[in-house]
Chain A
Amino acid sequence: MHTEQSDQKPRPEPAADVLAQLRGVYKRFGQIEALRGVDLAIHQGEVVALLGPNGAGKTTTISILLGVRRPDRGEARLFGHPPHLPQSRRNVGATPQDTGFPGALTVSEVVELVRTHYPQPLPTAAVLERFGLLDLGHRQTGGLSGGQKRRMAVALAFTGNPRAVFLDEPTTGLDVEARHGLWAVIRGYVHDGGTVLLTTHNMDEAEALASRVVVLDHGQILTEGSVDAIRARVQLTRVRFQAEGLPQLPGIVQIEQENRLYTLYTTDADALVRDLVREGVAFAGLEVRPVTLEEAFLNLTRGVV
């Protein structure tokens, strides 16, 4: 499997611009090959969304970049240094996939503890305020709701005022309002020069935030590029209409049928519509639009294209 650079605006790649990098990384857990030759570079100012089905290797990728796990083969670099050295992590903050804090400590106490590790952390009050935790500062973390805990886990990634944050499914378990609030914080952080690597199952999130999307599947990078480039890569159009039946037609990649509602994915929507008319299909409510990132992603990981 190979990696293509298909961003619309080609970017010069001086090494100083690369904050984190994997080169030919393999990682195996028992029988499972979690990563099979992954090359990835995170550049200053990017928001990279790592997409892929469960077990694709997203979390392993992040743990290796953070030095929590070591590659079996290949090389990882964080700010030019091996990530397992603690000092390499001084400029990065992280939110792991699973949330948990010492239950008897208060929100402020945990933030203070995390601040201690960084040379120039944000003030505790600023962290709490930015993530809507100001009223919860004195509460023991054991008493927080799931959503509050998740917001706090994300807040800790930003506490050290780092140059980059790695967020593993940051908005899982958050309601729409909290999710949008977090997106705003991330956008503000990037606007101020920050760099973000995030994994998500939510394609809206990738569409809303990502400057680059990397699709992982079975431990390999399937494709990468901007959101538009990924959609263009798939080169599919979705054609949807209601009809009583459908004859055999050429150029259809995939058909989904729900009662009278047909959803077709095709590489040439114009030809398909002409065929429908020529075949005398009595369709109603015709709708033609490019695929969403989610549809492109599903088609990619199912190996349809």
Chain B
Amino acid sequence: MKILWAHVKADLLSLQRRPMSVFPGLIAPGLLFLFIGVPNARDQTAANWFMTAMTVFAVLGITFFQFGVAIAAARSSPWELTLRTLPLAPGVRFAARVLVALVVALATVGVMVSLALLLTPAGLAFAGWLRWGVALLLGSMPLALLGIAMGYWAPPTAAAPVANLLYLVLAYAGGLWTPPSQLPHLVAQISPYLPTRRYAEVVWAPMRGQAWPVEDWLWLLGYTAAFGVLAIWGYQRDEGERFR
């Protein structure tokens, strides 16, 4: 416990002193929201839609960059190698990574929601916010695991390009930039099979005041299992960068 806290503290201190490293995940969704969301958010329904879609997009970025790219980079980093020589259980280091990502996610979601409330007529009832937050957190699980899997499977140099590509494709085809009904025909065919689309659906439901969509949750559960296996497999075969 003492060790976990020390790692969380050290990582947060690093982030606080180099805040630029958190921004990339915030820039794309933030700018999209300002340039497309704000002018188009004519009523509360539209505003809520943009706020939710861009927040899901931002969380997607965190799962890919805080986990995927960061883990891939750590596998070749001398400092992480030094940590492996300490009496430190890999699970503790990993838990610290998750907690730090949660803090970053909380800050990012806070920024997105604040922008929405300040600049648009977005708003939810208290119970709606609660369910919205729960869906945002739980629905991110499969994507976090996909990010982790990517971090362990991609070679350190390939991780950032792969993450960027998947990030944009999954966001667009998942219907986070334009409502799914306005996607081109071919993309609309694929969209329902993507984890980002299912994720967005479970967050949109409380936004619209609808019941939990069971089918979407089941899809997310399936993705969680699949990406979980990939992540654990990737972790077990990892011994850091493989040479010498």
Contacts and interface: CB of A to CB of B under 8 A. Distances in A.
A14 interface: no
B192 interface: no
Given A34-B244, A55-B244, A100 B88 contact: no
Interface string B150-192: 0000000000000000000000000000000000000000000
Contacts of A94: 82, 85
B86 A102 contact: no
Interface stretch (B12-20, B50-58, B59-67, B120-128): B12-20
Interface in B1-25: 2-3, 6-7, 10-11, 13-14, 17-18
Contacts of A66: 84-85
Give the contact-size bracket for chain A. 35 or more
Contact of A86 (B79, B82, B89): B89
Nearest to A60: B244
Contact of B79 (A30, A89, A100, A140): A100
Q: How big is chain B's contact interface, by range?
A: 20 to 34
Contacts of A160: 86-87
A288 B96 CA distance: 62
Nearest to B17: A104
Given A69-B239, A89-B86, A104 B18 contact: yes
Given A55-B244, A89-B86, A98 B10 contact: no
B234 interface: no
Interface stretch (A113-121, A179-187, A271-279): A113-121
Contacts of A126: none
Interface in A28-87: 29-30, 32, 34, 55, 59-60, 66, 68-70, 86-87
Interface in B69-114: 77-79, 81-82, 84-89
The 7 closest A-B pairs by CB, nearest first: A100-B78, A94-B85, A98-B78, A104-B17, A116-B6, A89-B87, A104-B14
Interface of A: 29-30, 32, 34, 55, 59-60, 66, 68-70, 86-90, 92-94, 96, 98-105, 109, 112-114, 116-118, 140, 153, 156, 160, 166
Given A94-B85, A113-B7, A140-B17, 15 more contacts: A30-B242, A55-B244, A60-B244, A68-B84, A86-B88, A89-B85, A93-B85, A94-B82, A99-B78, A100-B79, A101-B82, A102-B14, A102-B79, A117-B88, A118-B87
